[in-house]
Structure 1
Amino acid sequence: MTGTPRIDRVVTSGTFSLDGGTWDVDNNVWIIGDDDDVVVVDAAHDAEAIQEAVAGRRVTAIICTHAHDDHINAAAALASATTAPVKLHPADDELWQRVYPGTTYQPLTDGEEIDVAGLTLKVLHTPGHAPGAVCLHIPELSALFSGDTLFQGGPGATGRSFSSFPTIIDSITDHLLTLPPDTVVHPGHGDTTTIGAEAPHRQEWIDRGH
C-alpha cells in the first residue's frame, strides 16, 4: 500500500434511458484507493475519462451500485481495458441484460466485504430505486457511496419500472440512517451530504411520497 487512501470523483455526462424516455444526466464516478490500487464505483458514460483519473493505478474491481444504463454503460469498456471484474447485485440482472445481453458479472451479496488499499467496503443491499441497488460503507473513511438510493435532499426516484417508494424508505431507514451522523454520503449524482443532515427529514419524505 502506497500513500494515504483517498476518494477521487470524476463527473461524466451522457444519457439515462428507461420506460421509453431518455434524459441528459451528469454522473459521479467514485475512485477509492491509494497510489497503487483502486476500485471504481459506477463506471458511467466515459471509460477514457475514468482511466485518466485512475492514472495508471491497478483497478481491482468495478462496482455497480445498480444497473440503470447511465451507471453501467462504461463498465464493459473499463473492464476490458483494466481486466478488473465488474460486480453487481443479481437482482438487477434484467436491467443489466438490457445493456449487455448475454454477459455476466460477479454477483454482489448483502454484507459482502471488498478490500482495497487497506480499506474495507461493506456492501449494503438497499433496494427501492432498483431491485439490486446497493450502497458501500467504508467506516475507516466515514464514507457511504449511495448510488441513487440517497441524495442531498432525500431518496432516489421511484417513479419508473423496477422501483418502489416504500421499499426505498425501508432500505434507507434500516441500513443508512443507522450509520453514524458524520458519515459523508457520496451519491451517484449531485453534491455530497451527511447522514446527520438527511436523517431528520425522513418523515417529510414519507409525507410527500416521492
Structure 2
Amino acid sequence: MDARIEQVVTSGKVTLDDTEYDVENNTYLIGDDSEVIVIDPGFDAEAVLDKVGDREVMAVILTDGNDHHLGSALEVSAAGEEDEEYWAPIALHRADRLLWRDYFGRLARDEDDEEQAKALRSLEPDIWLEDGGVFEVAGAQLEVQHTPGHTPGSVSVLSDQLGVLFSGDTLHRGRPGSIGGVFEDLRKQLNSIGALITPLPRDMRVLPGQGEETTAGDENARWESWGALASENDES
C-alpha cells in the first residue's frame, strides 16, 4: 500500500444564523503519486489543487454540508478539466441535502446569467454517502461512519490500514466540533462521538476538520466530561 496523507489548511468566514465566524479548515488528501481522494476542500481551491498537482482526483468527500466545505468543492472536483464528464464525483450524506441546496441556491440568487443560475439550483452531489460505505484509493480503504449532531448528515471517515480517523467537525481535539462554539444538536453529537471512538484502538490518530490532531484514546478519556457541556447548552 502506497497511500499517504497530506494536509492543507485554509481559512475564511462562515455565517451561521446571521453571525459571521472566522474558521480554519483542514483539508486532507489521501493517495499516492498518481491519484488522491480529497476530504473537505475548504476555502481555497487553488491551494488544494497546488497540493494535488498532476494527480487524478478520484473523489471529493464532504464530511458535512456547511459552507466552508462546499465553497471549493466544484473547483476541486473539476481539477482543471473543462469537460464535466471527467470531474471527480462529490460525495455528501443525504441528510445534509438541505444545506447543499441552501448554499447553491444563494449562489444562484447572486448569479446574473439565468442559465447559470438554473444550473446552480439543479446541482446535486454525485454520491450520497451511507453509513458503512467504502472508498478505495492507493490500496487504502476509507469507510464512512454517519455521525450526526454537528449537522444531520455529518460523517467521519475511518481507515484501518492508515490507522486514521478523519473526524470532520464532529470531533475536534479536546472538544466536540463546532463553528464558533455553536452546536446544532450537542447531545446527538456526543452520542455519535461515543459510538465512534469507543471501539477504536487507543493510539489511532484522529485528524479533525479544524485544529490539531489527537488520538482516539485521548478523546475517549475526555468524552464523559462533555455531558456537563451538553447540559449548559440545553439551558442556553
Name the TM-score, length of structure 1 as normaliser.
0.94
**SS of residue matched to 2:161:** helix
Q: Which residue of 2 aligns with 1:141?
A: 162
CA contact (8 A) 1:19 1:160 kept: no
Q: Please give the secondary structure, in 2, of the residue aligned with 1:66.
A: coil
Give the C-alpha shift of residue 33 in structure 1: 0.7
Q: Quick one: which of 94, 100, 115 aligns to 1:96?
A: 100
Q: 1:126 aligns with which of 126, 139, 147?
A: 147
Question: Distance in 1 between the 2:75 and 2:102 partners?
Answer: 16
Q: How does 1:178-193 map to 2 (within 5 A)?
A: 178-193=199-214
Correspondence 1:107-126 to 2 at 5 A:
107-126=128-147
Q: Tell me, in whole angstroms, the C-alpha distance in 2 between the residues paired with 1:157 and 1:10.
A: 19
Trace 1:193-208 onto structure 2 (pairs within 5 A).
193-208=214-229
Rounded to whole Å, the distance in 1 between the matches of 2:3 and 2:182 is: 37
Higher share in helix:
2
What CA distance in whole angstroms lies between the structure 2 residues aligned with 1:75 and 1:157? 20
Q: Distance in 2 between the 1:115 and 1:208 partners?
A: 37
Cα distance between partner residues in 2 of 1:9 and 1:21: 28
Deviation at 1:71, TM superposition (A): 1.5
* Cα shift readout 1:133-154 (whole Å, capped 9, x = no counterpart): 0000000011000000111102
Percent of paired sites with the same residue: 41
Alpha-carbon separation, structure 2, partners of 1:79 and 1:122: 20
Q: Is the 8 A contact 1:65 1:88 kept in 2?
A: yes
Q: Does 1:40 align with 2:38?
A: yes
Partner-residue secondary structure (3-state), 1:141? coil
CA distance in 1, matches of 2:77, 2:34: 17
Which has the greater radius of gyration?
A: 2
Q: Distance in 1 between matches of 2:33 and 2:128?
A: 27
Unpaired segments of 5 or more residues in structure 1? none
* 1:61-80 → structure 2 map (5 Å cutoff): 61-80=59-78
Does the 8 Å contact 1:14/1:24 carry over to 2? yes
* Structure 2, gaps ≥5 residues long: 82-86, 106-120
Superposed CA RMSD: 1.5
Give the structure 2 partner of residue 29 of structure 1.
27
- The Cα of 1:112 is off from its aligned counterpart by 0.2
After TM superposition, give the deviation of residue 160 of structure 1 in Å.
4.8
Secondary structure at the residue paired with 1:39?
strand
Q: Does 1:166 align with 2:187?
A: yes
Answer yes or no: is the 8 Å Cα contact 2:3–2:137 preserved in 1.
no
CA contact (8 A) 1:155 1:169 kept: yes
Q: Partners in 2 of 1:208 and 1:24 — Cα distance?
A: 22
Count of residues in correspondence between the two structures: 207
Runs of 4 or more above 6 Å deviation: none
- Aligned equivalents of 1:180 and 1:52: distance in 2? 34
1-structure distance, mates of 2:176, 2:199: 15
CA deviation profile, 1:46-98 (whole Å, cap 9, x unmatched):
11111000111110000000011011210012122351110000100111112
